[in-house]
Amino acid sequence: MAFEMNIVKYLHYNAKEFGDCIAYVYNEIEYSWKEIDILSNKAAIILEKNGIQKLKHVGIYGMNSIEWIVFYYGLLKVGAVPVLINYEYKTKELERILDAFDIKILLKGELKSDVGENSVFDLRKIIDIIQCFSWMKREKYEENNIEYEKYIFPDDTACIIFTSGTTSIPKGVVLSHRSILGNGCAMADQIGWTRKDCLLLAMPMYHCSGLTAGILMAMCHQTKTVIMNYFTPALVLKNLQKYRCTAFSAVPSMLLILEQLSEFENADFSFLESGTVAGSTFSEVDYNRIVKKLKMFRLQPCYGQTETAPIVTMATLEDSLEKKSKTVGKALPGVKIRIWGLEEDRELESGGIGEIQVQTPYVMKGYYCNKIAEIKKWTKDGWLKTEDIGYLDSDQYLYFIGRIKDIIIRGGENITPFEVEQAILDFGNCIEEVKVVGVPDRILGENVAAIIKVKNKDYDILKPLKIYLNNHLTRFKIPRYYIFVEKFPMTGTGKIDLAQLKTFAKDYVSNQKD
């Protein structure tokens, strides 16, 4: 059904067939599918009156909210191109995005950042979606008799989402209705969500993790969704229990942070059944411990990236906990995976470690105004280069190892950070979290630095840890530097900010004396 329908048509279908079912809960107010369809029609009227029409780039800048969702649907109904902006962006970051992506109109919601409006917004039209939404709820709905879904097609652009780049301007990934709705429905089918489920959504909707793997994944099977502004650990714990949510999706660091709350041990998770976990590596030990504590035996590991809308592999419900703790599942229906040996310049057999390359019906339309980067992303025979390292086993399960750019080359030897991180975590449960990065070395080119967060700061683990690693790792893989921290820098999507962490490690090492 997803490939026959666009998002606008799917919303109308839900409103017609399941109109009284609850679609969203926000600030303790419930909204049915019928109400959301009507409210987004009102939003579309407001947008049209402000000169917004098909193909117009319009930024959405705000935290997760019901207003965000309604106006996103409204933009799709008028055929505009929603440009999804990180609500953490400060003035300069926002200015660069607005200029680079031809955004003359900005839909502004509630923000965490203190943005200087006079300097950023002088030459642009601002629509305050919170004020508009308040007015929309009071005003009587006037039917405009426009069947919006007739004018929207599966390959129309449904959003531009940003992914990291090597310059000050991130790459804008252009995704179609077909891509994100199809991907969301494939995930919902595989995990088995229904109208009886209730999803707690704390992932940011400006990213695929919140949009595709949250809003649209729930839409496909009419799953009720409780919307949180952003991830707040104590509030997540409270809302899971308050709404008796059966589903919760996260990145690994979110689950590890939840586990540290004093209220976690006595919390009731008897109703929690399923969810997805993706976005970064999750150690086998951590996965098994979290699943058992949450009693969430359908916590399905996934793998993908923004360019693939995002998910290409996902564990099945039949997979054992052992398999799910070690792999990121198998290819979704319609997706092909191969492992390409970068040195061998050929496809590798099962067990061979190389670049993960994919062919998927959910793939991006391209990068906005960045044809050079787009061309580099593809092989000559039509496979998307993920720039990630992994391998397939004989049953076609994918094992994710890490990013190509994160591989540490120490004196000519390649070192995978994940392997060193696993060894450090295996040392004992005194290690709460660890990240391994490469730092510049005058002689070897790069050296290994381990950034470690321990559970008990009073316990000195350095000497026994070094002894342990000497017995469990090849000599060239053993970290040269050990940096102990109280917390890790985080991105808006809940991942550890590796760029900031690498800068921190580099500065730390430059101040050390050999």
Answer yes or no: is pLDDT of 114 > 80: no
Rounded-to-integer distance, Cα 500 and Cα 453, Å: 16
Is residue 282 one of the residues assigned to a domain? yes
Q: Looking at the structure, tell me whether residues 381 and 417 fall in a common domain.
A: no
Rounded-to-integer distance, Cα 109 and Cα 126, Å: 10
Question: How far lies 122's CA from each of 117, 269, 404, in Å?
Answer: 7, 49, 42
Is residue 402 one of the residues assigned to a domain? no
- The predicted pLDDT at position 21 comes to 98
Is residue 398 one of the residues assigned to a domain? no
Q: Looking at the structure, tell me whether residues 366 and 491 fall in a common domain.
A: no
- The predicted pLDDT at position 458 comes to 67
From the list 358, 347, 353, 346, the residue with the least C-alpha distance to 313 is 358
Answer yes or no: is pLDDT of 514 > 60: no
Q: Looking at the structure, tell me whether residues 344 and 491 fall in a common domain.
A: no
| Residue 187's CATH number | 3.40.50.12780
Query: Angle of helix 233-242 relative to helix 252-259, nearest 10 degrees?
Result: 90
| End position of a domain, from candidates 359, 392, 425 | 392
Domain total for the chain? Answer: 2
Rounded-to-integer distance, Cα 202 and Cα 257, Å: 13
Question: How far lies 479's CA from each of 405, 425, 427, 504, in Å?
Answer: 18, 14, 14, 16
**Residue 451 pLDDT grade (very low, low, confident, very high; cuts 50, 70, 90):** very high
Rounded-to-integer distance, Cα 65 and Cα 26, Å: 7
Q: Looking at the structure, tell me whether residues 98 and 232 fall in a common domain.
A: yes
- The predicted pLDDT at position 9 comes to 94
Beta-ladder partners of 391 = 399
**Residue 166 pLDDT grade (very low, low, confident, very high; cuts 50, 70, 90):** very low
Q: Looking at the structure, tell me whether residues 187 and 227 fall in a common domain.
A: yes
- Strand 445-454 to strand 481-484: parallel, antiparallel, or no bridges (unpaired)? parallel
pLDDT tens figures, 172-226: 999 999 999 999 999 999 999 999 999 999 999 999 999 999 999 999 999 999 9
Rounded-to-integer distance, Cα 259 and Cα 390, Å: 28
Longest dimension (CA), the chain: 75
Q: Looking at the structure, tell me whether residues 423 and 350 fall in a common domain.
A: no
| End position of a domain, from candidates 338, 358, 392 | 392
- Average of per-residue pLDDT values in the chain: 92
Answer yes or no: pTM beyond 0.75: yes
Is residue 361 one of the residues assigned to a domain? yes
Q: Looking at the structure, tell me whether residues 386 and 421 fall in a common domain.
A: no
- The predicted pLDDT at position 511 comes to 87
Is residue 79 one of the residues assigned to a domain? yes
Least-confidence region, from 91-95, 244-248, 369-373: 91-95
pLDDT tens figures, 455-513: 887 678 999 999 999 999 989 999 999 999 999 998 877 788 888 999 999 999 988 85
- What is the edge-to-edge ordering of all strands in the sheet holding 445-454? 431-441, 445-454, 481-484
**Residue 143 pLDDT grade (very low, low, confident, very high; cuts 50, 70, 90):** low
Q: Looking at the structure, tell me whether residues 388 and 453 fall in a common domain.
A: no
Is residue 495 one of the residues assigned to a domain? yes
| Residue 460's CATH number | 3.30.300.30
> What is the identity of the amino acid at 269?
F
Q: Looking at the structure, tell me whether residues 347 and 444 fall in a common domain.
A: no
Is residue 400 one of the residues assigned to a domain? no
Q: What mean pLDDT is predicted for residues 368-383?
A: 96
Rounded-to-integer distance, Cα 407 and Cα 403, Å: 7
Q: Looking at the structure, tell me whether residues 220 and 250 fall in a common domain.
A: yes
pLDDT tens figures, 44-85: 999 999 999 999 999 999 999 999 999 999 999 999 999 999
Exposed, middle or buried, 192 (CB in 10 Å: 0-12/13-18/19+)? Answer: middle
Beta-ladder partners of 198 = 224
> What is the identity of the amino acid at 75?
L
Q: Looking at the structure, tell me whether residues 353 and 452 fall in a common domain.
A: no
Residue 479 contacts residue 420 (beta carbons within 8 Å) = yes
Answer yes or no: is pLDDT of 454 > 90: yes
**Residue 3 pLDDT grade (very low, low, confident, very high; cuts 50, 70, 90):** very low
| End position of a domain, from candidates 392, 418, 446 | 392
Q: What mean pLDDT is predicted for residues 438-457?
A: 90
Q: Looking at the structure, tell me whether residues 316 and 435 fall in a common domain.
A: no
Answer yes or no: is pLDDT of 385 > 80: yes
Q: Give the domain range for residue 343.
A: 2-392
> What is the identity of the amino acid at 104?
K
State what percent of residues in the chain have pLDDT above 90. 77
Answer yes or no: is pLDDT of 230 > 80: yes
